[in-house]
Structure 1
Amino acid sequence: MRPATLVRLALAGNRTDTARVVLTALSALLATLAGLAALTVLAIQKPAGDAWAESEQYRNELLREPGLRGGTAFALLMLAIPVLALAGQCARLGAPARDRRLAALRLAGATPGQVTRLAVLETGLASLLGTIAGLGVYLVGRELLHRPDERGRLALPTDVLPSTGALVAVVLGLPVLAAAATALMLRTVTTSPLGVSRKAVRERGPRPWAGLLIGLGLVSFVAVRPAMDRIDGNDVVRGWVLPLLVLAGGLAAMIGVVIGTGWISHTCGRLLHRHARGAAALLAAGRLMADPWAGSRTFAALLAAVIFGAGAAAQRAYFATQDELEREQNRLAGVDAGTNPFYLSTMDLVDAAVAVAVLIAAGGLLVALVEGIVARRRAYAALIATGVPRSTLSGSVAWQALAPAVPAILLALTIGLLLGRGLFGSVRVSAGGSSTVVCEATAALCDDPATRDQYTRIVQVAGAERVIPVPLEQLAWLGAGALAAVLVTVGVGLLFLRVSTAVDELRTA
């Protein structure tokens, strides 16, 4: 099959196929913007001078201080995780119709390899369109947002540009990654002239082996602070090994929670099947046990955002406790010195990024829910034809979404909190004690060297240590927001249920 024919067939299809290509391209566009923004932050050149020299051309301290740019770039890359998960959900939209189209191609004489390459090419081309559009949006936005203030300082790093190799790597790397992921998912799929079948059939439920990954992630985070104390002064280890340890531990815990959702779904299905009495709950129990990994696929982006948000809540609690303790120390010393609100204001930006990630994850939830309803519309229509009320089907869809979502969100909140607490167990200020010179006179007497010594005294301040409180309020708001996102997507998805359960679907589906 010629390349031109492959491209034409990859872009062919009905309105559902067009929607799938558009949504996949949109997801790739958002991921491209996140990646290019992170590369732009890393492209800022360190100014000449010592290690504390700042880039004075920026208004935001996250961009001015060299030591903070790595964390800023990492946070921007974390935003790409829910976007990539959304792309994975969009690629599954209209899967039954695409399966029938691929089976028709096999019936017309296409080989299994050609059909697989066709599906891979469709995802790759859609992602390439999105990354090219994302590069265009980035370049245009860079020119539009380049607005120095009266002091010549910039709000964003619009004066720097990543290298050409980095731009090409993002624009071409994301489509290659999407195509490789599609090929990996299709390795257990056989497309025949009679339809599409999966080679691997799971006969037993998933096992809770994901707990090992979660434990490995927690141990990695707990080991960071002792390792920093032992290797103090080794810049190479502190600059590379410890960040990699944090990254690997966070990814291990996140993957463990996502994979563990499959076990949670299967367990919830078994409990519902054993104890539920209503038809809606029993239908949901059958679906959860038949495909427990649907929860892992559906809630992956949302759980990743919740883990990140819970860790950010733990870190905010650390900074707030440190700020309060420093104010108390200054008050005991008789020093009227304010505290630096930089870290707390930075956490506001992190919370905003978490909110954006939850919204993106909610979009992925909606796509997954609608895709599941549309894929099973013929079975739903058959149930309606046999007398099952639509309210029962609506209840089963709600049970299927909420039963694994609630414990999975609670698990994500707990793991995120433990990861944050693993880095900072307590707040310690002036642990060995300190002394402060205080002048108890007017400013004129204190400034005069001849009279200053008569009115000054040395105040000894004892060391202090305080345990960080658990940020229950912020965790509750985060969990409620994630659960509200699930409820809203379920409500919107149920609107498609009435359209997809018409009796005509028995003939046309």
Structure 2
Amino acid sequence: MRPGTLLRLALAGTRTDGARVALTALSAALATLAGLAALTVLAVAKPPGDEWTQSEQYTTALLREPGLRPGVAFALLLLCVPVLGLAGQCARLGAPGRDRRLAALRLAGATPGQVTRLAVAETGVASLLGTVSGLAVFEVGRRLLHRPDAAGRLPLPTDMHPAPAAVAAVVVGLPLVAALVSALLLRRVTTTPFGVVRRVRTRAPWPWPGVLILVALASFAAIRPLLLWYERRDAVEPDGLVPTLVVVGSLAAMIGVVSGTGWISYTVGRVLHRHGRGPAALLAARRLTADPWAGSRTFAALLAALIFGAGAAAIRADFLARIELSRIADSGGMAGSDSFYLGAMDLVDLAVAVAVAIAAGGLLVAVVEGVTSRRRAYAAQVATGVPRSTIGRSLLWASIAPAAPAIALALTVGYLLIRGTLPAPSGGDFERVVCDTGPQGCGTDGVATRTEWVPKVTVTPDVPWEQLAWFAAGGLAAVLVTVGAGLLLLRSATSVEELRAS
């Protein structure tokens, strides 16, 4: 098949296929913007001087301080996680129609390899269109936002630009990764002239993702003991030790929580089947046990965002404990800059809210795709006498029942990752000289002084129940809103005429 023919067939199709390509391109553009923004922050050159020398050309301390810039870049990169999850959900939009189109190509003489390359090319071309558009928006925005103030300082690092190799890696790498992931997902798909056959696993999910969660907790908990081990031996730890443990632990936590949703869905389905009352609960139970991995695909981006949000809540609690310790010890410490640190955490919370909103878009696409792909089955149920309200309640059960424990698990894991790394802040346990005549006379001769022992004080960070509850409520609200929006399509999707649809 010639490349031109492959490209023309990849972009052909109905309005649903066009919407799938457009949404995939939009997701790739958002991921490109987040990646290029992170690379721009990392490209800020360190000014001459010691390691604490700040870049005074910026107005915000998040960009001025060299120790905070990697955290800003990491937060921007984490925004790519829900965006890529949205792209995965968009790629499934209109899957039945695409399957019929691929089967028609097989009937016209195309080989299985050709139709597989066609499906992979569709995702790759859509992602490439999105990354090129994202690069164009980034370049235009960089010029429009370059507005120094009267002192010549900038609110954003618009004076920097990522290296051309890094830009090419983002613009070309994302479509290649999307195409490779599509090829990996299609390895169990066989396209025949009579339709598309998928080989699925029929055995129940195992709780093996719990092992990944334990690995993640162990990776984060090992950071401080390893650093103390090097410190006791007057040695310097390897540069990549802490970043490697953080990356491995974060990936293991996300994969473990998202994969564990399959086991949660299957277990919740069995409990509903045994103890549920009413046809809606029983229909939802059968759906959860028949396809338990649907929850992992649907809630992946939302759970990743909530893990990050719970970790941010734990860091905020540690900041508050250190500020309280500084006030108790009357030694300044972080107390003088508490507004800066808490303001930085407010920005992190804003990033989490944006990530949850993006993940809600992915949920909406998943719900709409689920309703449209099962419209013939729902129409058959309505034709046999099942009320539409019962089908709607079953969809609500199938979404909320696994989402609630999965959200609780994500918040718990995200919080424990940080709490296992940061010990309770403590101070004191030393001697200090005190002037009896007050601090005004400490520098004069003949002033009576005395030595006093400062007892050790430990401030245990409070569990941020309120913030975690807001994250949980936001996640459940996102699920409810998207399911409610999807139910608006239920009446048209359950029309009896759908039984005659090809």
Alignment CA distance shift 1:318-1:436 (3 Å): farther
Task: Look up the equivalent residue of 2:58 and give its one-letter code.
Answer: Y
The equivalent residue for 1:422 is 420
Alignment CA distance shift 1:505-1:223 (3 Å): same
Q: Deviations over 1:390-416 (max 9, x none)?
A: 000000110110110001011111111
Distance 2:299 2:333 in 1: 51
Do the aligned residues in 2 keep the contact of 1:435 with 1:460 (CA within 8 Å)?
yes
- In the TM superposition, what are the counterparts of 1:254-333 in structure 2 within 5 Å? 254-330=254-330
Following superposition, the deviation at residue 158 of structure 1 comes to: 0.6
Distance 1:504 1:229 in 2: 70
Q: Deviations over 1:415-451 (max 9, x none)?
A: 1111111111311123x32526568569xx659x6x5
Task: Look up the equivalent residue of 2:204 and give its one-letter code.
Answer: G
Q: Deviations over 1:222-267 (max 9, x none)?
A: 1111111122365552x32111101101110111010000000011
Task: Look up the equivalent residue of 1:218 and give its one-letter code.
Answer: L
- In the TM superposition, what are the counterparts of 1:32-71 in structure 2 within 5 Å? 32-71=32-71
The equivalent residue for 1:505 is 498
Distance 1:197 1:93 in 2: 18
- 1:338 aligns to what SS in structure 2? helix
Q: Identity of aligned pairs, percent?
A: 64
- 1:435 aligns to what SS in structure 2? strand
Task: Look up the equivalent residue of 2:413 and give its one-letter code.
Answer: I
- In the TM superposition, what are the counterparts of 1:77-476 in structure 2 within 5 Å? 77-199=77-199, 201-232=200-231, 234-235=235-236, 237=238, 239-330=239-330, 338-430=336-428, 432-435=429-432, 451=444, 454=447, 460-476=453-469
Unpaired runs of 5+ residues, structure 1, are none
Alignment CA distance shift 1:137-1:458 (3 Å): farther
- 1:424 aligns to what SS in structure 2? coil
Following superposition, the deviation at residue 343 of structure 1 comes to: 2.0
Alignment CA distance shift 1:436-1:163 (3 Å): farther
Aligned CA-pair RMSD:
2.0
- 1:160 aligns to what SS in structure 2? coil
Do the aligned residues in 2 keep the contact of 1:326 with 1:339 (CA within 8 Å)?
no
Distance 1:58 1:437 in 2: 41
Do the aligned residues in 1 keep the contact of 2:23 with 2:87 (CA within 8 Å)?
yes
Task: Look up the equivalent residue of 1:479 and give its one-letter code.
Answer: A
Distance 2:258 2:241 in 1: 26
- 1:156 aligns to what SS in structure 2? coil
Q: Deviations over 1:329-372 (max 9, x none)?
A: 10xx7999735432222111111111011000100001001100
- 2:138 aligns to what SS in structure 1? helix
The equivalent residue for 1:14 is 14
Distance 1:505 1:321 in 2: 60
Do the aligned residues in 1 keep the contact of 2:324 with 2:459 (CA within 8 Å)?
no
Following superposition, the deviation at residue 508 of structure 1 comes to: 2.1
Scaled by the length of structure 2, the TM-score of the pair is 0.96
Distance 1:304 1:381 in 2: 35
- When the two structures are aligned, how many residues end up with a matched partner? 500
Distance 2:49 2:236 in 1: 18
Unpaired runs of 5+ residues, structure 2, are none
Alignment CA distance shift 1:452-1:397 (3 Å): farther
Task: Look up the equivalent residue of 2:481 and give its one-letter code.
Answer: V
Distance 1:335 1:176 in 2: 48
Q: 1:488 aligns with which of 477, 481, 499?
A: 481
Task: Look up the equivalent residue of 2:468 and give its one-letter code.
Answer: L
Q: Deviations over 1:46-85 (max 9, x none)?
A: 1111111111111122211212222221111111000001
Do the aligned residues in 1 keep the contact of 2:7 with 2:121 (CA within 8 Å)?
yes
Alignment CA distance shift 1:313-1:116 (3 Å): same
Do the aligned residues in 2 keep the contact of 1:438 with 1:459 (CA within 8 Å)?
no
Do the aligned residues in 2 keep the contact of 1:262 with 1:295 (CA within 8 Å)?
yes
Task: Look up the equivalent residue of 2:73 and give its one-letter code.
Answer: A
Distance 2:388 2:253 in 1: 39
- 1:292 aligns to what SS in structure 2? coil
Do the aligned residues in 1 keep the contact of 2:273 with 2:285 (CA within 8 Å)?
yes
Do the aligned residues in 2 keep the contact of 1:439 with 1:452 (CA within 8 Å)?
no
- 1:168 aligns to what SS in structure 2? helix
Do the aligned residues in 2 keep the contact of 1:327 with 1:339 (CA within 8 Å)?
no
- 2:197 aligns to what SS in structure 1? strand
Alignment CA distance shift 1:345-1:337 (3 Å): closer
Task: Look up the equivalent residue of 1:369 and give its one-letter code.
Answer: V
Q: Deviations over 1:152-181 (max 9, x none)?
A: 111111110011111111000000000000
Distance 1:274 1:399 in 2: 15
Do the aligned residues in 1 keep the contact of 2:59 with 2:154 (CA within 8 Å)?
yes
Scaled by the length of structure 1, the TM-score of the pair is 0.94
Task: Look up the equivalent residue of 2:226 and give its one-letter code.
Answer: A
Alignment CA distance shift 1:275-1:64 (3 Å): same
Distance 1:286 1:415 in 2: 29
Do the aligned residues in 2 keep the contact of 1:425 with 1:468 (CA within 8 Å)?
no
